[in-house]
Amino acid sequence: MSSNATGSSVPRAKSTGLHTGDAAPGCKKVDPIIVADHVARHFGGLTAVDVEHLEIPRGAITALIGPNGAGKTTLFNLLCGFDRPNTGSWSFNGTSLAGVPAYRVARMGMVRTFQLTKALSLLTVLENMKLGATKQRGEHLWASVIPALWRTQDREIEARAHELLARFKLDAKAADYAASLSGGQRKLLEMARALMGRPELVMLDEPMAGVNPALTQSLLDHILELKDEGMTVLFVEHDMHMVRHIADWVVVMAEGRIVAEGPPETVMQDQAVIDAYLGSHQDVDLGVVTGRISGELGEAGEELLEEIEEAVEASIEEAEEENK
Ligand SMILES: Nc1ncnc2c1ncn2[C@@H]1O[C@H](COP(=O)(O)OP(=O)(O)OP(=O)(O)O)[C@@H](O)[C@H]1O
Protein backbone atom coordinates (compact mmCIF):
# COMPACT_ATOMS: atom_id res chain seq x y z
CA MET A 1 0.00 0.00 0.00
CA SER A 2 1.12 3.55 -0.50
CA SER A 3 2.54 5.30 2.50
CA ASN A 4 0.13 7.33 4.55
CA ALA A 5 2.82 9.78 5.60
CA THR A 6 1.15 12.52 3.58
CA GLY A 7 -2.06 11.98 5.51
CA SER A 8 -3.68 10.66 2.36
CA SER A 9 -7.36 10.10 3.04
CA VAL A 10 -7.53 6.89 1.00
CA PRO A 11 -4.29 4.89 0.90
CA ARG A 12 -3.82 3.30 -2.49
CA ALA A 13 -1.63 0.52 -3.78
CA LYS A 14 1.09 1.63 -6.14
CA SER A 15 0.78 0.16 -9.63
CA THR A 16 3.49 -2.44 -10.13
CA GLY A 17 4.53 -4.82 -12.91
CA LEU A 18 4.57 -1.95 -15.38
CA HIS A 19 7.76 -2.90 -17.22
CA THR A 20 9.45 -5.94 -18.69
CA GLY A 21 13.13 -6.76 -18.13
CA ASP A 22 15.42 -4.48 -16.15
CA ALA A 23 14.18 -1.06 -15.10
CA ALA A 24 16.69 0.83 -17.22
CA PRO A 25 16.45 3.89 -19.49
CA GLY A 26 14.23 3.06 -22.45
CA CYS A 27 12.87 -0.17 -20.94
CA LYS A 28 9.75 -1.72 -22.46
CA LYS A 29 6.40 -1.37 -20.73
CA VAL A 30 3.76 -4.08 -20.53
CA ASP A 31 1.08 -1.73 -21.90
CA PRO A 32 2.57 1.56 -23.13
CA ILE A 33 0.24 4.45 -23.94
CA ILE A 34 3.05 6.60 -25.37
CA VAL A 35 6.05 5.30 -27.29
CA ALA A 36 8.79 7.70 -28.44
CA ASP A 37 11.80 6.86 -30.61
CA HIS A 38 14.86 8.98 -31.35
CA VAL A 39 13.09 12.20 -30.46
CA ALA A 40 15.53 15.10 -30.59
CA ARG A 41 14.99 18.84 -30.33
CA HIS A 42 17.78 21.32 -30.92
CA PHE A 43 17.73 25.05 -30.24
CA GLY A 44 20.60 26.41 -32.29
CA GLY A 45 23.65 24.52 -31.09
CA LEU A 46 21.92 23.29 -27.92
CA THR A 47 20.38 19.83 -27.73
CA ALA A 48 17.44 20.27 -25.38
CA VAL A 49 16.03 16.74 -25.88
CA ASP A 50 17.69 13.61 -27.21
CA VAL A 51 15.54 10.64 -26.22
CA GLU A 52 16.48 7.32 -27.78
CA HIS A 53 13.46 5.35 -26.59
CA LEU A 54 10.76 6.04 -24.03
CA GLU A 55 7.54 4.25 -23.16
CA ILE A 56 4.97 5.64 -20.73
CA PRO A 57 2.91 2.98 -18.94
CA ARG A 58 -0.89 3.11 -19.31
CA GLY A 59 -3.14 3.56 -16.28
CA ALA A 60 -0.29 4.59 -13.98
CA ILE A 61 1.18 7.82 -12.63
CA THR A 62 4.57 8.62 -14.15
CA ALA A 63 6.80 11.45 -12.89
CA LEU A 64 9.32 13.13 -15.14
CA ILE A 65 12.08 14.59 -13.00
CA GLY A 66 15.51 16.09 -13.51
CA PRO A 67 17.57 19.21 -12.86
CA ASN A 68 16.70 22.62 -14.31
CA GLY A 69 17.27 22.69 -18.04
CA ALA A 70 17.20 18.87 -18.32
CA GLY A 71 14.64 19.08 -21.13
CA LYS A 72 11.51 17.98 -19.26
CA THR A 73 9.25 20.80 -20.44
CA THR A 74 10.59 20.56 -23.96
CA LEU A 75 9.86 16.81 -24.07
CA PHE A 76 6.38 17.47 -22.64
CA ASN A 77 5.71 20.02 -25.38
CA LEU A 78 6.97 17.68 -28.08
CA LEU A 79 4.82 14.78 -26.93
CA CYS A 80 1.59 16.77 -26.94
CA GLY A 81 2.17 18.67 -30.16
CA PHE A 82 3.05 22.13 -28.82
CA ASP A 83 6.49 21.89 -30.32
CA ARG A 84 8.00 19.82 -33.11
CA PRO A 85 11.15 17.74 -32.80
CA ASN A 86 13.97 17.91 -35.34
CA THR A 87 13.92 14.14 -35.62
CA GLY A 88 12.05 11.18 -34.21
CA SER A 89 8.70 9.46 -34.04
CA TRP A 90 6.22 9.14 -31.23
CA SER A 91 2.78 7.66 -30.86
CA PHE A 92 -0.25 7.75 -28.57
CA ASN A 93 -2.35 4.57 -28.36
CA GLY A 94 -0.38 3.27 -31.34
CA THR A 95 -1.25 6.26 -33.55
CA SER A 96 1.66 8.34 -34.79
CA LEU A 97 1.52 11.94 -33.59
CA ALA A 98 4.11 13.34 -35.98
CA GLY A 99 2.73 16.57 -37.44
CA VAL A 100 -0.50 16.37 -35.42
CA PRO A 101 -1.28 19.80 -33.90
CA ALA A 102 -1.91 20.14 -30.17
CA TYR A 103 -5.67 20.71 -30.43
CA ARG A 104 -6.06 17.46 -32.38
CA VAL A 105 -3.84 15.60 -29.90
CA ALA A 106 -6.18 16.89 -27.16
CA ARG A 107 -9.21 15.55 -29.04
CA MET A 108 -7.48 12.20 -29.33
CA GLY A 109 -7.48 12.06 -25.52
CA MET A 110 -4.09 13.42 -24.51
CA VAL A 111 -4.38 16.72 -22.67
CA ARG A 112 -1.86 18.85 -20.85
CA THR A 113 -2.50 21.47 -18.21
CA PHE A 114 -1.53 25.06 -18.76
CA GLN A 115 -0.53 27.61 -16.27
CA LEU A 116 -3.16 30.34 -16.11
CA THR A 117 -1.85 33.13 -18.28
CA LYS A 118 -2.63 36.78 -17.65
CA ALA A 119 -5.24 36.75 -20.39
CA LEU A 120 -7.01 33.69 -18.98
CA SER A 121 -6.99 35.26 -15.51
CA LEU A 122 -9.27 37.97 -16.90
CA LEU A 123 -11.91 35.36 -17.74
CA THR A 124 -14.19 33.88 -15.12
CA VAL A 125 -13.56 30.44 -13.70
CA LEU A 126 -16.54 29.06 -15.66
CA GLU A 127 -15.34 30.64 -18.91
CA ASN A 128 -11.93 29.05 -18.38
CA MET A 129 -13.62 25.68 -17.96
CA LYS A 130 -15.58 26.11 -21.18
CA LEU A 131 -12.35 26.80 -23.03
CA GLY A 132 -11.19 23.35 -21.97
CA ALA A 133 -14.02 21.65 -23.88
CA THR A 134 -12.82 19.66 -26.87
CA LYS A 135 -14.59 17.48 -29.43
CA GLN A 136 -17.18 20.20 -29.90
CA ARG A 137 -19.90 19.14 -32.27
CA GLY A 138 -20.50 22.78 -33.17
CA GLU A 139 -17.17 22.90 -34.91
CA HIS A 140 -18.51 20.65 -37.64
CA LEU A 141 -20.24 22.50 -40.43
CA TRP A 142 -23.37 20.35 -40.37
CA ALA A 143 -23.79 20.94 -36.66
CA SER A 144 -22.87 24.60 -36.62
CA VAL A 145 -25.78 25.48 -38.90
CA ILE A 146 -28.32 23.79 -36.65
CA PRO A 147 -28.80 26.04 -33.58
CA ALA A 148 -30.60 23.34 -31.58
CA LEU A 149 -27.45 21.20 -31.69
CA TRP A 150 -25.36 24.16 -30.60
CA ARG A 151 -27.60 24.82 -27.65
CA THR A 152 -27.63 21.17 -26.56
CA GLN A 153 -23.89 21.09 -26.77
CA ASP A 154 -23.53 24.32 -24.83
CA ARG A 155 -25.76 22.96 -22.08
CA GLU A 156 -23.72 19.76 -21.93
CA ILE A 157 -20.48 21.70 -21.69
CA GLU A 158 -21.82 23.92 -18.96
CA ALA A 159 -23.15 20.95 -17.00
CA ARG A 160 -19.80 19.18 -17.26
CA ALA A 161 -18.03 22.37 -16.14
CA HIS A 162 -20.23 22.72 -13.06
CA GLU A 163 -19.83 19.03 -12.22
CA LEU A 164 -16.03 19.35 -12.35
CA LEU A 165 -15.99 22.65 -10.44
CA ALA A 166 -18.01 20.98 -7.68
CA ARG A 167 -15.60 18.05 -7.60
CA PHE A 168 -12.64 20.43 -7.25
CA LYS A 169 -14.51 22.58 -4.70
CA LEU A 170 -14.44 25.59 -6.99
CA ASP A 171 -18.19 25.79 -7.65
CA ALA A 172 -18.63 28.81 -5.42
CA LYS A 173 -16.03 30.58 -7.56
CA ALA A 174 -17.61 29.87 -10.97
CA ALA A 175 -18.51 33.51 -11.64
CA ASP A 176 -15.30 34.98 -10.15
CA TYR A 177 -12.38 36.09 -12.27
CA ALA A 178 -9.68 33.43 -12.34
CA ALA A 179 -7.23 36.14 -11.25
CA SER A 180 -8.86 36.11 -7.81
CA LEU A 181 -7.95 32.45 -7.13
CA SER A 182 -5.13 31.43 -4.79
CA GLY A 183 -2.10 29.57 -6.19
CA GLY A 184 -3.54 26.21 -5.15
CA GLN A 185 -7.00 26.99 -6.53
CA ARG A 186 -5.41 27.93 -9.85
CA LYS A 187 -3.74 24.52 -9.97
CA LEU A 188 -7.11 22.89 -9.28
CA LEU A 189 -8.70 24.94 -12.06
CA GLU A 190 -5.91 23.96 -14.48
CA MET A 191 -6.57 20.30 -13.69
CA ALA A 192 -10.37 20.66 -13.83
CA ARG A 193 -10.11 22.41 -17.21
CA ALA A 194 -7.95 19.62 -18.60
CA LEU A 195 -10.66 17.09 -17.63
CA MET A 196 -13.38 18.85 -19.64
CA GLY A 197 -12.67 16.70 -22.69
CA ARG A 198 -12.60 13.43 -20.68
CA PRO A 199 -8.98 12.65 -21.60
CA GLU A 200 -7.29 9.28 -21.36
CA LEU A 201 -3.91 10.79 -20.57
CA VAL A 202 -3.45 13.91 -18.45
CA MET A 203 -0.12 15.71 -18.51
CA LEU A 204 0.45 17.96 -15.51
CA ASP A 205 3.08 20.66 -15.58
CA GLU A 206 4.45 21.16 -12.06
CA PRO A 207 1.11 20.59 -10.31
CA MET A 208 2.59 21.52 -6.92
CA ALA A 209 4.27 24.80 -7.88
CA GLY A 210 2.94 27.69 -5.78
CA VAL A 211 0.52 25.52 -3.82
CA ASN A 212 0.29 26.23 -0.11
CA PRO A 213 0.53 23.25 2.26
CA ALA A 214 -3.18 23.39 3.13
CA LEU A 215 -4.10 22.42 -0.43
CA THR A 216 -1.26 19.96 -1.03
CA GLN A 217 -3.17 16.94 0.23
CA SER A 218 -6.25 17.81 -1.74
CA LEU A 219 -4.19 18.12 -4.93
CA LEU A 220 -2.46 14.79 -4.35
CA ASP A 221 -5.83 13.13 -3.76
CA HIS A 222 -7.24 14.62 -6.94
CA ILE A 223 -4.32 13.25 -8.95
CA LEU A 224 -4.70 9.80 -7.37
CA GLU A 225 -8.40 9.92 -8.23
CA LEU A 226 -7.56 10.39 -11.90
CA LYS A 227 -5.74 7.07 -11.78
CA ASP A 228 -8.63 5.47 -9.87
CA GLU A 229 -10.84 6.49 -12.79
CA GLY A 230 -8.55 4.70 -15.24
CA MET A 231 -6.65 7.71 -16.56
CA THR A 232 -2.93 7.78 -17.20
CA VAL A 233 -1.05 10.65 -15.58
CA LEU A 234 2.31 12.05 -16.63
CA PHE A 235 3.69 14.94 -14.62
CA VAL A 236 6.77 17.12 -14.42
CA GLU A 237 7.59 18.04 -10.84
CA HIS A 238 10.41 19.35 -8.70
CA ASP A 239 8.69 18.38 -5.45
CA MET A 240 10.32 15.05 -4.59
CA HIS A 241 7.91 14.45 -1.72
CA MET A 242 5.07 14.37 -4.19
CA VAL A 243 6.99 12.19 -6.65
CA ARG A 244 7.83 9.68 -3.95
CA HIS A 245 4.27 9.45 -2.67
CA ILE A 246 2.14 9.31 -5.77
CA ALA A 247 4.31 8.20 -8.71
CA ASP A 248 4.19 4.56 -9.77
CA TRP A 249 7.04 5.12 -12.19
CA VAL A 250 9.79 7.74 -12.35
CA VAL A 251 11.71 8.87 -15.42
CA VAL A 252 14.87 10.89 -14.73
CA MET A 253 16.18 13.26 -17.39
CA ALA A 254 19.51 15.07 -17.52
CA GLU A 255 20.95 17.05 -20.38
CA GLY A 256 18.14 16.02 -22.68
CA ARG A 257 18.53 12.27 -22.16
CA ILE A 258 16.73 9.70 -20.06
CA VAL A 259 19.33 8.68 -17.47
CA ALA A 260 17.25 6.48 -15.15
CA GLU A 261 13.79 4.91 -14.99
CA GLY A 262 12.01 2.77 -12.45
CA PRO A 263 9.63 2.63 -9.52
CA PRO A 264 10.28 5.52 -7.09
CA GLU A 265 11.59 3.25 -4.36
CA THR A 266 14.42 2.05 -6.56
CA VAL A 267 15.13 5.16 -8.62
CA MET A 268 14.91 7.42 -5.61
CA GLN A 269 16.49 5.10 -3.10
CA ASP A 270 16.92 8.02 -0.79
CA GLN A 271 15.94 11.67 -0.90
CA ALA A 272 19.61 12.45 -0.47
CA VAL A 273 20.47 10.47 -3.57
CA ILE A 274 18.19 12.60 -5.66
CA ASP A 275 19.26 15.80 -3.92
CA ALA A 276 22.88 14.99 -4.60
CA TYR A 277 22.19 13.89 -8.13
CA LEU A 278 20.01 16.83 -8.97
CA GLY A 279 22.45 19.13 -7.27
CA SER A 280 26.11 19.32 -8.12
CA HIS A 281 26.55 16.04 -9.94
CA GLN A 282 24.61 16.39 -13.14
CA ASP A 283 27.51 14.99 -15.11
CA VAL A 284 27.46 11.65 -13.25
CA ASP A 285 25.36 8.74 -14.46
CA LEU A 286 23.16 7.73 -11.56
CA GLY A 287 22.80 4.26 -13.04
CA VAL A 288 26.55 3.69 -12.79
CA VAL A 289 26.67 5.10 -9.27
CA THR A 290 23.89 2.83 -8.07
CA GLY A 291 25.43 -0.16 -9.83
CA ARG A 292 22.53 -0.81 -12.20
CA ILE A 293 24.55 0.12 -15.25
CA SER A 294 28.13 -1.01 -15.73
CA GLY A 295 30.61 1.75 -16.44
CA GLU A 296 33.46 3.81 -15.11
CA LEU A 297 32.61 5.80 -12.00
CA GLY A 298 35.25 8.48 -12.44
CA GLU A 299 36.28 11.03 -9.83
CA ALA A 300 32.93 12.83 -9.73
CA GLY A 301 31.15 9.47 -9.43
CA GLU A 302 33.37 8.39 -6.53
CA GLU A 303 32.63 11.69 -4.80
CA LEU A 304 28.91 11.25 -5.35
CA LEU A 305 29.01 7.68 -4.07
CA GLU A 306 30.72 8.89 -0.90
CA GLU A 307 28.14 11.64 -0.47
CA ILE A 308 25.34 9.13 -0.98
CA GLU A 309 26.78 6.74 1.59
CA GLU A 310 27.12 9.57 4.10
CA ALA A 311 23.61 10.80 3.37
CA VAL A 312 22.16 7.28 3.67
CA GLU A 313 23.90 6.83 7.02
CA ALA A 314 22.60 10.19 8.19
CA SER A 315 19.06 9.34 7.14
CA ILE A 316 19.24 5.96 8.93
CA GLU A 317 20.40 7.76 12.09
CA GLU A 318 17.60 10.27 11.67
CA ALA A 319 15.03 7.49 11.27
CA GLU A 320 16.39 5.72 14.36
CA GLU A 321 16.09 8.97 16.33
CA GLU A 322 12.49 9.40 15.18
CA ASN A 323 11.61 5.83 16.17
CA LYS A 324 13.05 6.12 19.69
N1 LIG B 1 12.41 28.04 -27.04
C2 LIG B 1 13.68 27.81 -26.66
N3 LIG B 1 14.70 28.43 -27.26
C4 LIG B 1 15.98 28.19 -26.91
N5 LIG B 1 16.34 27.34 -25.92
C6 LIG B 1 15.37 26.71 -25.27
C7 LIG B 1 13.98 26.90 -25.60
N8 LIG B 1 13.22 26.12 -24.78
C9 LIG B 1 14.09 25.47 -23.98
N10 LIG B 1 15.37 25.82 -24.27
C11 LIG B 1 16.58 25.29 -23.62
O12 LIG B 1 16.50 23.88 -23.66
C13 LIG B 1 16.99 23.31 -22.45
C14 LIG B 1 15.91 22.47 -21.82
O15 LIG B 1 14.91 23.33 -21.27
P16 LIG B 1 13.59 22.81 -20.57
O17 LIG B 1 12.78 24.01 -20.21
O18 LIG B 1 12.95 21.78 -21.40
O19 LIG B 1 14.18 22.15 -19.25
P20 LIG B 1 13.39 21.68 -17.95
O21 LIG B 1 13.96 20.36 -17.57
O22 LIG B 1 11.94 21.74 -18.16
O23 LIG B 1 13.85 22.77 -16.91
P24 LIG B 1 13.03 23.40 -15.64
O25 LIG B 1 13.00 22.32 -14.64
O26 LIG B 1 13.91 24.52 -15.24
O27 LIG B 1 11.69 23.83 -16.14
C28 LIG B 1 17.45 24.47 -21.59
O29 LIG B 1 18.86 24.64 -21.78
C30 LIG B 1 16.69 25.64 -22.15
O31 LIG B 1 17.40 26.86 -21.96
Q: Is 92 left (phi over 0), alpha (psi -120 to 50) or beta?
A: beta
Pocket test residue of 72, 79, 243 for ligand 1, highest count of atoms within 8 A of CB: 72
- Nearest CA-CA partner of 226 in 252, 205, 195, 254: 195
Q: Which residue segments constitute the domains of the chain, with CATH numbers given?
A: 32-118+193-264 (3.40.50.300), 269-324 (no CATH)
Closest C-alpha residue for ligand 1 atom 7: 43
Residue nearest to atom 26 of ligand 1 (CA): 68
Q: Whose CA is nearest to atom 11 of ligand 1?
A: 48
Sign of CA dihedral 176, 182, 185, 190: positive
48 Cβ closer than 6 Å to some ligand 1 atom: yes
| Ligand 1 atom at shortest distance from the alpha carbon of 66 | 21
CB of 69 shorter than 6 A to ligand 1: yes
The interface predicted TM-score (ipTM) is 0.97
Mutate to test the pocket of ligand 1, among 39, 46, 64, 80 (most ligand atoms within 8 A of CB): 46
pLDDT for the residue numbered 282: 44
* Confidence at residue 294, expressed as pLDDT on a 0 to 100 scale: 57
Query: Taking the alpha carbons of 184, 185, 187, 192 in that order, is the dihedral positive or negative?
Result: positive
Which ligand 1 atom minimizes the distance to the CA of 238?
Answer: 25
- pLDDT value of residue 57: 98
What's residue 137's pLDDT? 47
Q: How far is the CA of 193 from the centre of ligand 1 (A)?
A: 25
pLDDT in tens, 209-245: 878 777 788 888 899 999 999 999 999 987 777 888 8
Q: Check: CB of residue 96 under 8 Å from CB of residue 89.
A: yes
Q: How far is the CA of 79 from the centre of ligand 1 (A)?
A: 15
Query: In Å, how far from its chain's centre is CA 241?
Result: 14
Atom 29 in ligand 1: residue holding the nearest Cα? 69
The angle subtended at Cα 304 by Cα 299 and Cα 308, nearest 5°, is: 150
10-residue averages of pLDDT along the chain (324 residues):
44 86 91 97 95 97 90 94 95 95 91 77 90 60 58 83 94 94 89 91 89 80 93 89 87 89 80 51 50 60 69 67 66
Phi, psi (rounded to 5 degrees) for 292: -80, -25
| 72 Cβ inside 6 Å of ligand 1 | yes
